[in-house]
Amino acid sequence: MTTDHSIRAERLTLGYRDRVVIDRLDLTFPPAKITAIVGANACGKSTLLRSMSRLLPPRAGHVLLDGRAVHRMPAKELARTLGLLPQSPIAPEGITVADLVGRGRHPHQSVLSRWSKQDDLAVAAALDATHTADLADRSVDELSGGQRQRVWIAMALAQQTDVLLLDEPTTFLDVSHQVEVLDLLTDLNRARGTTIVMVLHDLNMAARYADHLIALAAGTVHAAGEPADVLTEDCVRAVFGLDSRIIVDPTSGKPLMLPLGRHHVAETA
Ligand SMILES: Nc1ncnc2c1ncn2[C@@H]1O[C@H](COP(=O)(O)OP(=O)(O)OP(=O)(O)O)[C@@H](O)[C@H]1O
Ligand SMILES: [Mg+2]
């Protein structure tokens, strides 16, 4: 079985009621690579991810997974290949961490094959990888924002899909947990060839961790490619309306964006 899945959007049009958010978008996500999507608030990043995981039907066009339109695939079948961590997931009231992470195993179960040893192992591995095992018996409602975010990541990991879509996986996380989660996703990509598509607001983390960077602006692709080619001063100005300097990150060799605000900018900048 291959983990290399092709995912593309073909003339994809998405919207809500009378608002078109994405208009005839053509986009390819490289298989077995890490793609980061960046763009201003409300440009359509979450809308795109929701449509890729069939939560939002297209107005026109398709999202194709291995050549098949995802919104014509049965939900459970799709969920065995592709998992989504939404931007603001909602946990059932009072659910424990272990039970929530266990829900990641639902796509692998059926009437005939209920909870198995393999499910136990997948949940334990996901709790372990996200350092949430000590929270297993706690109620999700009573966790800190960062703890809760790591539990949701654990649930997505427990699903053990070849394709993982994550909408701002590092929100609420302190800097060391941010690095840990991005390192963990990189490990998953390198060890299993998992295709990762994630929305990130931190352009520097995106440039550092992504093989492929997509800058979205008003539902269209402003630029896509290697981070060094995409994250330029012109791109930051066009996509975010922000002046910046791009330097080479001495620790990674990747582009590092320094925003120029109206204050605290040296004459030489
Ligand atoms: N359920 C909805 N009903 C109506 N309009 C919506 C809905 N969800 C999103 N929108 C609108 O669609 C547009 C794109 O929203 P989306 O959530 O995709 O943005 P985003 O790029 O993810 O932004 P952010 O960086 O703030 O998360 C916005 O104008 C938003 O108001
Ligand atoms: Mg969003």
Q: Express each pLDDT in 107-118 by its tens digit.
A: 998 877 788 899
Cα angle for residues 122, 125, 130 (degrees, 5° grid): 125
Residues across the chain:
269
pLDDT at position 111 is: 74
**What are φ and ψ of residue 85, in 5° steps?**
-100, 105
Distance CA 113, CA 103 (A): 15
Residue ranges around ligand 1 (CB below 6 Å):
16, 19, 21, 39, 41-47, 87
Q: How many CA atoms lie within 13 A of 138 on its CB side?
A: 13
pLDDT at position 219 is: 93
Coil, helix or strand for 265? coil
The model's pTM: 0.96
Which residue's CA is the nearest one to ligand 1's atom 27?
Answer: 41
Take residue 233 and report the two structure tokens written for it: 């001063």
Q: Indicate if the pLDDT at residue 1 is higher than 60.
A: no
Which residue's CA is the nearest one to ligand 1's atom 9?
Answer: 47
Q: Amino acid identity of 201?
A: H
Mean pLDDT of the chain: 95
Helix (H) or strand (E) holding 215: strand 212-217
Q: Indicate if the pLDDT at residue 50 is higher than 80.
A: yes
Coil, helix or strand for 2? coil
Coil, helix or strand for 257? strand
44 CA → ligand 1 middle, Å: 6
Residues 165 and 84 sit within 8 Å (Cβ to Cβ): yes
Domain boundaries, the chain: 7-259
CATH architecture of 7-259: 3-Layer(aba) Sandwich (3.40)
Mean pLDDT over 225-238 rounds to 98
